[in-house]
Amino acid sequence: MIENTTQATAGQRVFSIRSSADYLVGKNLTVSLFYDQQLTDPTIATSYVTGNTAAGLRLRFNLGGL
């Protein structure tokens, strides 16, 4: 056993990217593009880097303007 040393036992570093764009196609129709990515890098070596990614296209039709 080595004395007077410290070792990380918990913790993580999180990196996140989020982006979105909206485009008004017509008076009542909006198109949205989105991208979301999150990477988690744990401090301890026995855990793996994990990541989540979400991307997509969203159409929104407004019935209130009819």
Residue 15's pLDDT is 92
Q: Which two tokens stand for residue 60?
A: 């929104």
DSSP output for 4-52: S-----S-EEEEEEEEEEEEE-SSSEEEEEEEEEEEEEESSTTS--EEE
**How long is the chain?**
66
| Residue 48 near residue 39, CB atoms below 8 Å | no
Mean pLDDT for 24-52 is 91
Q: Is the pLDDT of residue 26 over 70?
A: yes
